Amino acid sequence: MLDEKRLIQELKQGSKDALRRIYMEYKDNLLTIAASMLHDTYAAEDVLHDVFVSFAGGIGSLQLRGSLRNYLIASVVNRVRDQFRKKKHHLVELEEAGQFAADSDGPEQSAVFGEEAGRLTDALARLPLEQQETIVLHLNAGMKFKEIALMQGIPLSTVQGRYRYGLEKLRTILKER
């Protein structure tokens, strides 16, 4: 676990090593969140890059109210929202979804996993953005509903409802196929 306050202080003093350590600690989780929401690993990498460039550039005026992790997650989510506003995103192709299957035990399992990942990605993309975001933040980022509610500035019951209705809709979509 990083000592976030110390690292922020070092970063404000110009330490590139502090930025590198923060990046190495959070990049995988942030990339997973962005990719899960955008359904495009290349766009997710761009979002991650933009977030860290912005973070490094604005470190002098940074005033954290919570954890650095939650701040960076909120930054990624906001960039993803910007992507949705700017242009329509495209879904992950089956071949690209298959790259996530590389850790499975063999070609057959890899193919099955790739197909299932593609179906899930497609189904997730069919949900309203608010439900997608809640599901991804809870399952991929490991955020508690209370943290999501604080980050989004909405009641806890709304977050819980979005999660529940999103999962129900995912089940319905997946059963249709």
Residue 116 in any domain: the answer is no
83 and 19 in one domain?
yes
Position with higher pLDDT, 105 vs 61:
61
Residue 161 in any domain: the answer is yes
Q: Which two tokens stand for residue 5?
A: 């306050």
131 and 86 in one domain?
no
Q: Give me the number of domains the chain comprises.
A: 2
Residue 45 has a pLDDT of 93
Tell me whether residue 80 is exposed, middle or buried, using C-beta atoms within 10 angstroms of its C-beta: 0 to 12, 13 to 18, 19 or more. Answer: buried
For residues 158 and 164, the answer to whether their CB atoms sit within 8 Å is: no
Average pLDDT over residues 92-114: 48
134 and 59 in one domain?
no
Q: What is the CATH number of the domain that holds 177?
A: 1.10.10.10
> What is the extent of the structural domain holding 166?
126-177
Last residue of a domain, one of 46, 66, 90: 90
Q: What is the CATH number of the domain that holds 85?
A: 1.10.1740.10
Q: Is the pLDDT of residue 57 over 60?
A: yes
Summarize pLDDT for 122-144 with one digit per residue, the tens. Answer: 888 888 889 988 998 888 888 89
68 and 13 in one domain?
yes
| CA triple 87-84-66, angle to 5 deg | 145
Report how far residue 70's alpha carbon sits from residue 121's, in angstroms, rounded to the nearest whole number: 24
Report the residue count for the chain: 177
Report how far residue 142's alpha carbon sits from residue 147's, in angstroms, rounded to the nearest whole number: 10
80 and 134 in one domain?
no
Q: Which residues contact 104 (CB under 8 A, 6 or more apart)?
A: 110, 113
